[in-house]
Amino acid sequence: MDELFRELISVNSTSAFNFFFTGLREVSRKEPGNEMLYVASVLAHYSQTSRYDPSSMPPLANLSEVFDQFFFVDTSDSEILEIGGSQILLFAGFFRDQMRRRHNVCWYDEMGQSFYDRASVHTREPKKRRLFERMSKTFPSWTLNCRDLSRRCREDGNNRYLLRLN
């Protein structure tokens, strides 16, 4: 158990990214592309970001907080729009099964699409613009891929990263 604990606390950003990227590739059965790299990086980022880290925008607690923080903000700041979209991706995707008990996750899929669509309009970087345009079109499929990855993580009896409470 001590060795497993040491391995878990020594996870770095590269190993977190590889964990999510490999999982997304397996559940999506798609060839890796920029969208998959982006989604894996979002999941890896939030898996290693404390809710109490004042140095960056931390992950919120649930879709209610996302709504409160992002839905009444009239902004053309592509970074804020991307953060809102990524938070929806996290909760309406990876935590979809938990969130659907309280929220209409399909409505949030549409809102995530809207955030990425508006981010694509307001970003100055052509590469990001194309990525955000693709994310706005494929957002619901990515939330389902994230949900499937989450289920796989929970259901896999051999998942060494899942701490079991006895």
User: What average pLDDT values come out for the chain (166 residues) when binned by 10 residues?
Assistant: 58 89 93 95 92 77 92 88 96 96 96 97 97 98 97 75 52
Structural domain contains residue 165:
no
Number of domains in the chain: 1
Looking at residue 134, what is its pLDDT?
97
Structural domain contains residue 162:
no
Structural domain contains residue 34:
yes
State the residue range of the domain holding 63. 2-155
Structure tokens that stand for 110 in this block: 């549409």
Looking at residue 65, what is its pLDDT?
92
Looking at residue 90, what is its pLDDT?
97
Looking at residue 23, what is its pLDDT?
95
DSSP secondary structure, 49-76, as one string: --TT-TTS----SSHHHHHHHHTT----
Structural domain contains residue 29:
yes
pTM of the model: 0.87
Q: Where are the beta strands (DSSP E) in the chain?
A: none
CA atoms within 13 A on the CB side of 75: 19
Looking at residue 166, what is its pLDDT?
47
Structural domain contains residue 17:
yes
Structural domain contains residue 164:
no
Structural domain contains residue 161:
no
Structural domain contains residue 52:
yes
Looking at residue 36, what is its pLDDT?
97
